[in-house]
Each structure stands twice: as structure tokens, then as C-alpha cells.
Amino acid sequence: MKKFVVSLVFIFIFTLIFWNLKNKERPKEDPVFPVKTVKTVGADLDEKTFSGQTPKEAKENADAYFEEHLKSLPTIDDLKNLTEEEVHHTPEIIKEGGELVGTIFDEAQKDPTKRMSAMNFFKKCAEDDQVAIPIRAVCLNRVYKLIPEWEIPVPMSDSKIPDEVLDLAMNLP
């Protein structure tokens, strides 16, 4: 009876290992640029995304789109121009900047082709020393939360992230 149980356990473990190896060998579909191969008349096979753009075109368009939004985030200089009354509450420009970061997240969540560009946006935002600290913290928080979810690694430069931004990002929900 003991040999039978040991044999069953061994077979079960062997089956799990074999199944995992078999699944890892299958190529995964690229979540950022799902590609479909189509035949065009009088031409060779051409890789196109479902939206009709090549992956390179889609990435370039998303990068340009997010780069424009990066320029519209509130800066430290914008905060210096606040009135005394605005300083005592969360300034509107900070609220608008937070909304913009949330909008970018929502767009990338809905359209996986934008995720790499959105992740680069969050990285640039977090590392940009001209962007207001609360917004940088929100961007850094997004990077930390989205790396495991979207499975897009983003190398961050610790020297570009001050402790104040890091502490604030870690305390955000």
C-alpha cells in the first residue's frame, strides 16, 4: 500500500512538471501588440494589428499621445504660483493632474496596445524632477502596481526618485 501511494504521488508530480514545461513552450500572444497576419493582394504577407496599424506604428502613435499628456502635468513652478487660499487645500491643478494620470491608466487598461507607452509615461512622470511631487508619487505608485499586473518591466532610476516621492507613493492606496 505504501509503494502504491508513493507511486501515485510521483506520477502526480511528474505530470505537473511535464504540464508546466509543455505550457511554457507555447509562444504567448503579445499582450501589447496582438498581431494578425493578413494576405494582401499582390503583396507578401504583412503583419498588421487589428486596428490596421503595424505594431511599430501603434507604439509610435501611443508614445506621441502620452508624451503630449506628460507636458500638461502640473510642475513645481505651477505650485509656486498658487494663492494663499489654494495652498490650504488640494489645488485644482493637482486634482486635474491626478485625473489625467487616471485617464491614461483607464485608456491603457482598455487597450493593451497602449500599455507599454502608458508604462513609459508613468516612469517618465515619476522620474521628472519638474513634475509636482504628489503627481510623481501617483505615477510611481502606478508603476509599482502595474508591473506585475501588465507584466511589463520598467527599469527605474533610484537616483531620480527622491525619498519624499517614494514615501508618498508607498502610502497611497
Per-residue pLDDT band for 126 (boundaries 50, 70, 90) equals: very high
Instruction: Assess contact for 53 and 61: CB atoms under 8 A.
Output: yes
The answer to which of 73-77, 78-82, 99-103 has the lowest mean pLDDT is 78-82
Q: Tell me the H-state helices in the chain.
A: 2-25, 55-71, 76-80, 84-87, 92-110, 115-127, 133-146, 163-170
Query: Could you tell me which residues come within 8 angstroms of residue 60 by beta carbon, excluding any fewer than 6 positions away?
Result: none
Question: What does the alpha-carbon distance between residue 131 and residue 137 come to, in Å, rounded to a whole number?
Answer: 10
- From residue 102, how far is each of 7, 67, 138, 158 by CA, in Å? 54, 15, 9, 24
Q: Output the pLDDT for position 6.
A: 58
Q: Which of 7-16, 35-44, 69-78, 150-159 has the lowest mean pLDDT?
A: 35-44
What is the distance in angstroms between the CA of the first residue and the CA of the last residue of the chain?
A: 53
Predicted confidence (pLDDT) at residue 101 exceeds the cutoff of 90: yes
pLDDT band of 64, cuts 50, 70, 90: confident
- For residues 143 and 116, the answer to whether their CB atoms sit within 8 Å is no
Q: Which of 8-17, 66-75, 104-113 has the least mean pLDDT?
A: 8-17
Amino acid at 9: V
Share of residues in the chain with pLDDT > 90 (%): 43
pLDDT of residue 137: 95
| Alpha-carbon 158 to chain mean position | 18
